[in-house]
Structure 1
């Protein structure tokens, strides 16, 4: 028989009175109540002053007052890589942790690794999760399990598709489509009527960059160009010569008058600047080049103009939002927060179309 909300909440109050201070996930298992349902009931009971909830644990108000200070919350963070784009996101999350302990899980750009890493983090008794799973547009179904996580979670640089279970999760991301528009608008202002896009296709950001390129070309009235695919040199059938072939294609396009290119990401853009010089194209005299990511762009020769997503702010905002969840704020709707990238103008965009 299905219990009413009043009956469930009476059971919850009775269990907390017996068990004392208890983790939300353990309380759900003890009562056999789905975690999502339990969280709603706890929010209502907390708002009424009948329970105290903080950092993933719940207790009676009198017990919370009498007990020793609570331990700081533990936050698990899943990222696909370290050493590049996500380093500053991690740094931002740490800076905003407000005493919370951060536990890192490193997956890969493979969806099958994400769940194992998340289960490992949950086994470490985390109170909440910051997640950047491998997630490409149209591939939500392998990640439906995210909607059933036993602790609050915030997606970073990811967003569920409309109608998918994970769409209800909080999200903090860079607005990469706006970032691409900034780059193409800058090139158009320099007189370029056509801009090439050279981009990867193996990450969420790459797909957002590609979609942003198509939108910006239409909005600015630029001549559309086929996207130049950047392949992973480690992928089957690809080798280190892939970047050489990409440089050949850019040089060929320059021969037809297309003298501006946006490259995702910095790793490829820095390598291309040298290869293009070997093909008779100097930056910025013969070709305008903008990099997307701005991790290493300033270190190139010449320093590359780059779109800079607000990586540190993304991490800090996601952590702050998760901590609000862990504090048990009642009636907090699901958040979709987009932060705007900036264009850092340097020395690689002097060429005029």
Structure 2
């Protein structure tokens, strides 16, 4: 069974972190992945600053810094995956840490809340002074699965997560994109273009997906738009045909605009809609959420762009401030506003 590029790159990073430094050919053999594919993935990870390449070998950026450490604080960053959205969050955190003379150590979990604690324990064992945490929390999680956050021995900042009121996590600093505001931007733009109803296509498996669903309900009520039943994406490659059929049916009822979370799912839908005679943007205005590679769609996709790099940068700044504090300091819950990047897919002139 084939695996996605994100899964391959996560496996590569985990292997290199365990080995410290390894030749690319040996890495390919260990993982059972063709060497040419591993070289391509290693190049992408090196371009993102997550790995260091030299003379056919690859090492973690943390391993490289250890050989000439500047003595700054060590910051552990937990993310649910590498690739797409979190690459930019990591890039922002890495740049901010570098400017401050700090070392960033990456921990990769999975979209499974049970894996978070294991990865955090590994980061703590590596000797980090503080933690930047993007755990895979969703409203359906049992509260007990988050109890470990009460016992952290070092300062921590939540990244792209909003703590639940009254939970232990509320006592932590946090930095997140205001995804509900991002959805409102998209709905307001489509309403201004004359659309009296907007469909939502969304996942259920991430924190962001649930924030987008809540933002859709709140935004429709605020703007006086009739809320459509959300079209679910469970498995993108399996559900794409069914989603396209649902959008054709919605179009036949007069719904001529849709917000899709995320870029990948929106781009996969475009040819399926064309094959069903539904032209974008002439017959259906499409806005995607994330703006990782929305501009590469055919047509280029108007997209809500969360401030991903700024989230990573601000999270590092908050953690360094906490580490440098000599006494109690106010807890900061920071929300950064997304922007809307207007392109051809919504039928408005690009700006």
Place the TM-score, normalised by the shorter chain, in its bin: 0.7 to 0.9
Alignment partner, residue 272 of structure 1:
269
Q: Distance in 2 between matches of 1:167 and 1:241?
A: 38
Superposition pairs of residues 233-244 of structure 1, within 5 angstroms: 233=236, 240-244=237-241
Alignment partner, residue 127 of structure 1:
129
Alignment partner, residue 104 of structure 1:
106
Please tell me whether residue 115 in structure 1 is matched to residue 117 in structure 2. yes
Q: Distance in 2 between matches of 1:183 and 1:117?
A: 36
Paired residues of 2:176 and 2:335 also in contact (CA < 8 A): yes
Cα shift readout 1:13-63 (whole Å, capped 9, x = no counterpart) = xxxxxxxxxxxxxxxxxxxxxxxxxxxxxxxxxxxxxxxxxxxxxxxxxxx
Q: 2:342 is matched with which residue: 342, 345, 349?
A: 345
Shift of 1:137: 2.0
Superposition pairs of residues 169-188 of structure 1, within 5 angstroms: 169-188=172-191
Q: Indicate the SS of the match to 2:209.
A: helix
Q: Indicate the SS of the match to 2:132.
A: strand
Q: Indicate the SS of the match to 1:348.
A: helix
Q: 1:254 is matched with which residue: 251, 255, 260?
A: 251
Structure with larger RCO (C-alpha < 8 A, sep 6+)? 1
Q: Distance in 2 between matches of 1:251 and 1:329?
A: 60
Alignment partner, residue 235 of structure 2:
232
Superposition pairs of residues 128-207 of structure 1, within 5 angstroms: 128-137=130-139, 139=141, 140-207=143-210
Paired residues of 2:70 and 2:101 also in contact (CA < 8 A): no
Paired residues of 1:74 and 1:126 also in contact (CA < 8 A): yes
Paired residues of 1:154 and 1:172 also in contact (CA < 8 A): yes
Alignment partner, residue 56 of structure 2:
none
TM-score by length of 2: 0.77
Please tell me whether residue 209 in structure 1 is matched to residue 212 in structure 2. yes
Q: Which residues of structure 1 form unaligned runs of 5+?
A: 1-68, 234-239
Q: Indicate the SS of the match to 1:241.
A: helix
Shift of 1:330: 2.9
TM-score by length of 1: 0.77
Alignment partner, residue 315 of structure 1:
312
Q: Distance in 1 between matches of 2:339 and 2:102?
A: 30
Q: Distance in 2 between matches of 1:251 and 1:271?
A: 15
Q: Indicate the SS of the match to 1:280.
A: coil
* Alignment coverage as a number of residue pairs: 277
Paired residues of 1:284 and 1:348 also in contact (CA < 8 A): yes
Q: Distance in 2 between matches of 1:155 and 1:187?
A: 32
Alignment partner, residue 87 of structure 1:
87
Q: Distance in 2 between matches of 1:317 and 1:147?
A: 23
Q: Distance in 2 between matches of 1:327 and 1:78?
A: 21
Q: Distance in 1 between matches of 2:267 and 2:279?
A: 13
Alignment partner, residue 27 of structure 1:
none
Q: Indicate the SS of the match to 1:172.
A: strand
